[in-house]
């Protein structure tokens, strides 16, 4: 019975994760991709691999995710892994649907400030919803969650730091202007993630850290 309970998924959490995954996929395709903005984390590394070596982004993401998922199986609970698998697969599905069937164009032209603002708000909200529901959308999210728990840093701060490293390397193929606006989008997203995840927690328990679905260790 205990094993069944560990794998059980709450319907409300599932809906929140699906909404968050959709917002992420929608923003990555319709805003970042269509306006020349890159992205940090493993997504940014996958895009970097595509531009530099013509590597399939899906394959690159898989290679990066596998070792983190293996580590997460040991360090996190089964429920978190189940949530993460659902969020990751739904994100990939939503992105593929946007790429293949969506007629919507959100080309902001030369107004990259607006593109960065919408990207930051939507990706931050989407990632925050997935994390708040007890999951993650990929290996970089899991890594950020673990670093946040181990160091005590805010989850949004860790996301921003990891993304910044990738974006600096992305200067190899991205123009300076687009990279600077991408950094702005990442900064906004990081703050949105922190707000979304911590909303309501501080008032209820101001001194208790938010564990983001991390497995509690037992004796």
Instruction: Please check whether residue 197 lies inside any domain of the structure.
Output: yes
State the Cα–Cα distance between residues 18 and 14, nearest whole angstrom. Answer: 6
Instruction: Please check whether residue 35 lies inside any domain of the structure.
Output: yes
pLDDT for position 143: 92
DSSP letter (8 states) at residue 208: S
- For residue 61, give its domain range: 2-204
* pLDDT one digit per residue (tens) for the chain, 219 residues: 455 555 566 889 999 999 999 999 999 899 988 998 877 788 788 878 888 888 888 788 888 888 888 888 887 778 888 899 899 899 989 999 999 999 999 989 889 999 999 999 999 999 999 999 999 988 888 999 989 989 999 999 999 999 888 888 888 877 888 889 999 999 999 999 999 998 876 544 444 445 555 454 333
Query: What total of structural domains would you count in the chain?
Result: 1
Instruction: Please check whether residue 218 lies inside any domain of the structure.
Output: no
Taking the whole predicted model, whether its pTM rises above 0.85 is answered as no
Cβ contacts of residue 181 below 8 Å, gap of 6+? 37, 112, 113, 115, 116
Instruction: Please check whether residue 101 lies inside any domain of the structure.
Output: yes
Per DSSP, the residues of 67-89 read HHHHHHHHHS-HHHHHHHHHHHH
Instruction: Please check whether residue 216 lies inside any domain of the structure.
Output: no
Instruction: Please check whether residue 184 lies inside any domain of the structure.
Output: yes
Q: Which of 31, 153, 177 is nearest to 95 (CA)?
A: 31
Instruction: Please check whether residue 213 lies inside any domain of the structure.
Output: no
Instruction: Please check whether residue 159 lies inside any domain of the structure.
Output: yes
134 torsion bin: left (phi>0), alpha (psi -120 to 50), beta (else): left
């Amino acid at each position: 019975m205990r094993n069944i309970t560990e794998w059980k998924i709450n319907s409300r959490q599932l809906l929140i994760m699906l909404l968050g995954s959709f917002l992420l996929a929608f923003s990555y395709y319709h805003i970042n991709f269509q306006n020349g903005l890159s992205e940090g984390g493993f997504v940014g590394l996958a895009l970097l691999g595509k531009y530099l070596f013509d590597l399939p982004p899906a394959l690159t993401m898989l290679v990066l995710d596998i070792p983190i998922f293996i580590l997460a199986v040991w360090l996190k609970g089964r429920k978190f892994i189940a949530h993460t698998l659902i969020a990751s697969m739904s994100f990939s599905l939503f992105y593929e649907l946007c790429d293949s069937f969506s007629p919507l164009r959100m080309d902001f032209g030369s107004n990259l400030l607006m593109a960065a603002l919408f990207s930051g708000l939507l990706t931050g909200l989407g990632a925050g919803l997935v994390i708040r529901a007890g999951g993650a959308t990929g290996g970089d999210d899991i890594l950020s969650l673990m670093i946040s728990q181990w160091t005590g840093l805010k989850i949004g701060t860790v996301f921003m730091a990891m993304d910044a490293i990738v974006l600096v390397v992305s200067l190899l193929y991205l123009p300076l202007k687009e990279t600077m606006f991408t950094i702005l989008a990442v900064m906004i997203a990081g703050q949105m993630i922190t707000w979304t995840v911590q909303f309501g927690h501080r008032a209820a328990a101001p001194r208790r850290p938010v564990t983001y679905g991390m497995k509690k260790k037992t004796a």
